[in-house]
Chains A and B, each alone.
Chain A
Amino acid sequence: AQSVTQLGSHVSVSEGALVLLRCNYSSSVPPYLFWYVQYPNQGLQLLLKYTSAATLVKGINGFEAEFKKSETSFHLTKPSAHMSDAAEYFCAVSGSSFGDMRFGAGTRLTVKP
């Protein structure tokens, strides 16, 4: 069965600093991996997704993630944090079933001025 684990329920960075949000996956088949962002009182918005085309995936708002099979990781990074990046971030995996998307517990990103 597919699953993801997000390391760190809360990450705090200063504005302009590197953002690193960690996600490790477990999958018996080649995984499709996603990062979603949730701003307060809003739904889940797709940041980026990995579908085996390229290991380094670029998403919206300057975020990117690198798929590392040897480490079973799909960490999300952004070189320079903005105040507007403060939100909850969810890593998710979609396996071979019809639509069963499995989410991590989420990481709340705080950006300090």
Chain B
Amino acid sequence: EPEVTQTPSHQVTQMGQEVILRCVPISNHLYFYWYRQILGQKVEFLVSFYNNEISEKSEIFDDQFSVERPDGSNFTLKIRSTKLEDSAMYFCASSERPGTGGNEQFFGPGTRLTVL
């Protein structure tokens, strides 16, 4: 069964460093998303992406974040200068159609980012 994959499963970095989290969405999906979950807190929406541009972003998704689809398969989240509070589990998701209207988003297993 097709699934969303994410690498690495765990990333440890020093504060101020740049990190890139990678995701491979399901191959025929066109809509892509990033969410994060700080330990013990809610899963929070970061950004949605379609047709090579951001469709929507939350207030969390500030200038230190960026997303890219560098080729036909990968979808990346870059954090330019990591802060301690960026430590969280980051989930990638994809959907065949827009997430609105009750269309299912398929989630990857997550990347645990630890900022020291």
By a beta-carbon cutoff of 8 Å, the part of chain A in contact with chain B is 32, 34, 36, 41-46, 49-51, 90, 92, 94-106
Contacts and interface: CB of A to CB of B under 8 A. Distances in A.
Interface of B: 3-4, 6, 9, 31, 33, 35, 41-45, 48, 50, 55-56, 58, 91, 93, 95, 98-102, 104-110
Given A98-B99, A100-B58, A46 B31 contact: no
Query: Most B CB atoms within 10 A — which of A32, A95, A101?
Result: A101
Nearest to B33: A99
Nearest to B49: A99
Given A36-B107, A42-B109, A44-B91, A99 B100 contact: yes
A104 to B, nearest CB: 7
Contact of B42 (A42, A97, A106): A106
Contacts of A98: 48, 50, 55-56, 98-100
Contacts of A45: 107
Contacts of A51: 101-102
Contacts of A94: 99-102
Contacts of B35: 101, 103
Contacts of A104: 42
A41 B58 CA distance: 26
A22 B13 CA distance: 37
A24 to B, nearest CB: 15
A32 B97 CA distance: 15
B109 A41 contact: yes
Contacts of B9: 41
